[in-house]
Amino acid sequence: MALALLMSANSKLILSDSVYLQHTSHGSSMVERLYYHPHFSGVVKTGNYIIVDDVYTTGQTMKYLKNFLENRGANVTGAWCLGAGPSNQFEPNRLLVKILLAKFPSISNYFDIDCLTVPQIQYLLRLSSINRLWEIHSDNQLALSFA
């Protein structure tokens, strides 16, 4: 919020804080974050928006917020983050999606391809098989049950 306030105070931007993330735990591992789907609520006025977020890990919160805003008539022109992961690029291009589908033709049986971000696709592409994802997820769930 501090970054958004600073941006609006030093520009002609208007701060809109009428949209809220309905908080649910996203987990700490990439596997857990693959299954996280943020939900937003609030009033969206038509116009141009710049998304401001605190930390960029997978880009999923920004992607879902962008979709939430655009589905209600807004135009998202940019995104800013205080802490960033390996990339500020969260929307995958068609080539990256094509590479993912070539490696894992059945991936759409497990994930909505349109909801995946660049870091998530890059993570999936590093896996030797889709079964490896389930092994990691199962090991992670087992570890959490003993924590």
CB 51 within 8 A of CB 24: no
* pLDDT tens per residue, range 16-70: 888 888 877 776 677 778 877 889 999 999 999 988 888 777 888 889 999 999 9
pLDDT reported for residue 85 = 53
76 three-state secondary structure: strand
> What are the structural domain ranges in the chain?
2-146
pLDDT reported for residue 140 = 57
For residue 98, pLDDT over 90 is answered with yes
- In this prediction the pTM is 0.71
Tally of CA atoms within 13 A in the half-sphere of 31 that contains its CB: 14
Provide the mean pLDDT of the chain. Answer: 83
CB 13 within 8 A of CB 49: no
